[in-house]
Structures are given as C-alpha cells and as structure tokens.
C-alpha cells in the first residue's frame, strides 16, 4: 500500500508527525516502510496512530526472534523464538511466538496473540481474537480480549480484565480492577478482583472467589474454598463452596435468580460450611450437603 500526503492529511495527523512525513518520506511511501521508519526514529506512538488509521494488511513477517525497542507490523508477525521489546509489540493481524512475549508498555494484535512461553506487558494486553500462553499472562494495566483468554499458569492484570469469550487459568486469576467475562470462567486457583466479578455464564474455582465489590453470574458458582464479596453475591442458578459464602455488610446472597421457584431444590442449591448470613434467595441444603 502506497501512502501519499493527501491520504495522510485526510486523517488529521498531528503537526509534528505530518512534518516528519513530509520531510523524512517526501510526503509518500510504502505503508510498512513508513511504519518501520517511524519506529526506527523512535516515533512509536506515531506508528501506532498510522496503523489505527489505515488498518491491517495481509502481509506475513516471519523472524527467528525479536529484540528491539519496538515493533509495529501491519500484517501478521510470526516469530520462531521469543519477542522482547522495550516499548510496544503490535501487529495489525496476529502475533505468534515460539517462545515468550515481553513488552515494556503494550502488546496489541488486531487478531490473536499466541505464545509457547509467557506473555508479559508493562502496560496493557489487547487483542481482537484469542490470547493464549503455555505459561502465564501478566499485564501491569488491563487485559482486553475479543476471544478466549487462556493460560496454563496465572493470569494477572494490574487493572481490569475484559473478555468476550471464556477465561481459563491453570492457576490463579487476579485483577486489580474488575473481571468481566461474556462467557464462563474456570481457574485452578483463586479468582480475585479488587472490584466486581461479572460473568455471563458460570464460575468454577479450585480456590476462593473473592471480589472487592459485587459478584454476579448468570449460571452458578463452584468454589473449592470460599465465596466472599464486599458487596452482594448473585447467581442465576446455585452456589456451592467448600468453605463459607459471605457477602458484604448490608448486602445479600441471591441464588436461583434465573430458576423457577419449584425447581430451586435441584437448580438453585446453596451449599457451604455454614448458612450464609442474609441468604435472600436459593435453596439452602445445609453444610452436610
């Protein structure tokens, strides 16, 4: 794709970036070559802006490894070993690495991100498709995923986690903000959010499910330990915990919100070590169950 000063100016670029384009590239040039030149000139934000404006391409770049200040590629980036960048790792399509992926600020893909190692970002991780790692996934800021989010180890976000598909963590799932999932969540360890946990389907945890505000799920919750919230606990079906079920002070526990009253004994069961205080709805089965 060839860019001209007319095309670029129509996107309302910043004055500094447009002047660079006129001076360094004479107001025209190949799309990817301009992206590479911007990154080489340490204008990574301008390269990302350009990719936002003109979108992805069908090109595929295959490399043995990446060790650089940044990489911004308009197509798919396939790396046989690992990726390590000081700032941004970004692709218009997918990012696939045979090793780990590590970026000082952001990791962004127009499709999916796949790593045979871990995925670590000093900023956010964002992909329109699946994000998958054979090790762990760790973002200092947010994790935003348009598909499924999967890791064999921990999934950790310094802020929130927003996922359109399922979340599967081999170990713990933790967020400094909210966890919001449009499908289901399953983790081998604790599921913990400093704010809300909102899941459209069910939650299954090998450890505790803990929220700094509310917990809400369209189906049920199965916990290998406790279910604890500083706010309310709401489930469309049942709540089962090997430990305790504890809402916040002044809040209630609501099970069976999507179940007929005559089916509560089967589909809105509440099981815990002790009857939850403020159990507003649901069928209490007793600790023996």
One domain for residues 143 and 202: no
Terminal alpha carbon distance of the chain: 65
- Give 243's strand partners: none
Question: By residue range, what is the domain housing residue 282?
Answer: 167-289
> What pTM value is reported for the model?
0.93
Give the pLDDT score at 217.
98
Torsion of the alpha carbons at 209, 200, 257 and 280, rounded to the nearest 10: 30
174 and 284 co-located in one domain: yes
Looking at the structure, tell me whether residues 65 and 23 fall in a common domain.
no
- Model pLDDT, residue 46: 92
Residues 63 and 17 in one domain: no
Asked if residue 151 and residue 173 are part of one domain, the reply reads: no
Domain boundary among 118, 147, 165: 165
Structure tokens at 284: 């209490």
Same domain, residue pair 161 and 275: no
69 and 133, same structural domain?
yes
Handedness of CA 194, 268, 164, 118 (dihedral sign): positive
Whether 86 and 185 map to the same domain: the answer is: no
Name residue 115's beta-bridge partners.
97, 133
Strands, sheet with 143-145, edge to edge from the N-terminal-most edge strand: 71-73, 88-91, 106-109, 125-127, 143-145, 161-163, 179-181, 197-199, 215-217, 233-235, 253-254, 279-281
End of a domain among 107, 138, 165?
A: 165
- By the 8 A CB rule, do 211 and 196 touch? yes
Instruction: Tell which residue, 189, 193, 135, has the closest CA to residue 163.
Output: 193
Domain shared by 269 and 200, yes or no: yes
- Same domain? 205 vs 283: yes
Total count of domains within the chain: 3
Whole-number Å distance between alpha carbons of 191 and 173: 5
The residue out of 120, 138, 165 marking a domain boundary is 165
Measured in degrees and rounded to the nearest 5, phi and psi for residue 148 equal -95, 145
Same domain, 172 and 288: yes
Same domain, 126 and 156: yes
* pLDDT in 10s for each residue of the chain, 289 residues: 776 666 566 667 776 765 666 666 555 678 898 899 999 999 999 999 999 998 999 999 999 999 999 999 999 999 999 999 999 999 999 999 999 999 999 999 999 999 999 999 999 999 999 999 999 999 999 999 999 999 999 999 999 999 999 999 999 999 999 999 999 999 999 999 999 999 999 999 999 999 999 999 999 999 999 999 999 999 999 999 999 999 999 999 999 999 999 999 999 999 999 999 899 999 999 766 6
């Amino acid at each position: 794709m060839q860019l001209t000063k007319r095309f670029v100016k129509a996107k309302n670029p910043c004055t500094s970036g447009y002047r660079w384009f006129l001076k360094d590239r004479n107001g025209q040039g190949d799309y990817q070559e301009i992206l590479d030149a911007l990154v080489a000139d340490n204008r990574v934000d301008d390269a990302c802006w350009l990719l936002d404006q003109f979108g992805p391409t069908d090109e595929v770049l295959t490399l043995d490894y990446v060790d650089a200040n940044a990489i911004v590629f308009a197509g798919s980036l396939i790396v046989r070993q690992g990726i390590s960048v000081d700032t941004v790792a970004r692709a218009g399509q997918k990012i696939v690495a045979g090793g780990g992926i590590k970026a000082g600020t952001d990791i962004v893909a127009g499709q999916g991100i796949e790593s045979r190692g871990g995925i670590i970002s000093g900023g956010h991780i964002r992909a329109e498709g699946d994000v998958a790692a054979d090790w762990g996934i760790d973002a200092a800021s947010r994790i935003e995923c348009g598909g499924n989010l999967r890791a064999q180890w921990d999934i950790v976000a310094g802020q929130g986690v927003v996922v359109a598909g399922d979340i599967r963590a081999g170990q713990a799932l933790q967020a400094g903000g909210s966890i919001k999932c449009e499908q289901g969540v399953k983790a081998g360890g604790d599921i913990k959010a400093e704010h809300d946990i909102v899941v459209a389907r069910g939650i299954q945890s090998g450890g505790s499910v803990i929220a700094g505000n509310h917990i809400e799920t369209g189906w049920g919750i199965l916990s290998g330990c406790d279910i604890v919230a500083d706010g309310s606990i709401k489930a469309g079906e049942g709540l089962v915990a090997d430990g305790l079920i504890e809402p916040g002070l002044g809040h209630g526990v609501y099970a069976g919100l999507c179940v007929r009253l005559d089916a509560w004994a089967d589909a809105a069961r509440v099981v815990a070590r002790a009857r939850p205080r403020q159990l507003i709805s649901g069928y209490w089965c007793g600790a023996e169950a």
